[in-house]
Amino acid sequence: MTHVFDEAIAVTALDDGSGFRATTHPAYDNMVGPFGGITAATVVGALRSHPDALGEPLALTINYAAPVANGTWDLRTTIVKTNRTNQHWTFTIEQEGQTVSTGSAVFGVNRDTWSDTEAVRPSAPPPESVPAVDFPDFVAWARNYDKRFVVGGLDAKSDDSTSTLWLRDLPQRPLDYPALTAMADAFFPRVFLRHGTFMPAGTISLTTYFHATPDELAAQGSKPVLATARGARFAGGHFDQYGQLWGDDVLLATTTQLVYFKNPPPRPEPRLTQ
């Protein structure tokens, strides 16, 4: 039986060889259009399937110029340069004659070199000791994840925008590069946490750096990923947020994004009754 995630990221090659065709999946609907993470994951999966792809993804940037509408969309891809150990791509997402997203990707070959990790994994209790939570029904994509917040859940206003949670595909699915890509966008906008409420907001640009090797992903399997994110500055209708995805003691990916937001509508003043 095919996992719903694999159904959502499925593509077919275009007859003219210029890229791939994808179709949005209702299981990954968001408040406006599909979940941005599933669109990014579809791009990664498609590029990996290209016969000329070199190695595995190292970096992906996707700029959401306009919402993707429900239905089919075309991914137009270009290999800009292939070197001995890395390969550079550009791409556009087109729908109904309009470009709705642009982006770039870097693929490469993992080499045996000196390594070290300076980032520090957040402390967290075992995932089974943290209760799972649900998001409101209108956030359909979130139902595809088991979410266990250690700190920074959507239950209170906070002066600290940090969220740390255990995250896993639901139903369980072995982690791979497309799934890791989607998880990098699974953090709700940090401005929600600062205000303690949902607000109009959407990702403008999302970048993910893939640190995990294929062997490290295989070792992770379907175990929960420890995900953490926080914002740096909120101003002028935009903010950034930075995230890390950990598997055991291995830093699997880091991510940053620029998010657009509007102030929440003012709450009506209470009326006095006589």
31 — pLDDT class (breaks 50, 70, 90): confident
Residue 268 has pLDDT above 80, yes or no: no
* Cα–Cα distance, 145 to 184 (Å, whole number): 13
Within-domain flag for 175: yes
Within-domain flag for 273: no
What tokens were used for 55? Answer: 């190695």
Within-domain flag for 116: no
Residue 267 has pLDDT above 90, yes or no: no
The 10s digit of each residue's pLDDT in 233-259 is 999 999 999 999 999 899 999 999 999
Residue 274's pLDDT is 46
Within-domain flag for 52: yes
The 10s digit of each residue's pLDDT in 135-185 is 888 899 999 999 999 999 988 899 999 999 999 999 999 999 999 999 999
Element holding 253 (H helix, E strand): strand 250-261
**Letter string b/e over residues 220-259, b meaning 16 or more CB atoms within 10 A of that residue's CB:** beeebbbbbbbbeebeeeebebebbbbbeebbbbbbbbeb
The 10s digit of each residue's pLDDT in 150-159 is 999 988 899 9
Within-domain flag for 271: no
* Cα–Cα distance, 97 to 84 (Å, whole number): 36
Residue 156 sits in a domain of what CATH number? Answer: 2.40.160.210
Residue 187 has pLDDT above 70, yes or no: yes
**In Å, how far are 97, 163, 188, 189, 210 from 227, measured between CA atoms?**
37, 8, 12, 14, 14
Within-domain flag for 27: yes
List the one residue out of 145, 158, 194, 196 whose CA is nearest residue 4.
145
Residue 71 has pLDDT above 50, yes or no: yes
Overall pTM surpassing 0.85 (yes/no): yes
Within-domain flag for 89: yes
Structural domain count, the chain: 1
Mean pLDDT over each residue of the chain, to the nearest integer: 94
CB count, 10 Å around CB of 28? 26
Residue 199's pLDDT is 87
What is the residue range of 104's domain? 4-111+122-261
198 — pLDDT class (breaks 50, 70, 90): confident
The 10s digit of each residue's pLDDT in 45-67 is 999 999 999 999 999 999 999 99
Query: ω into residue 171 within 30 of 0, thus cis?
Result: yes
Within-domain flag for 230: yes
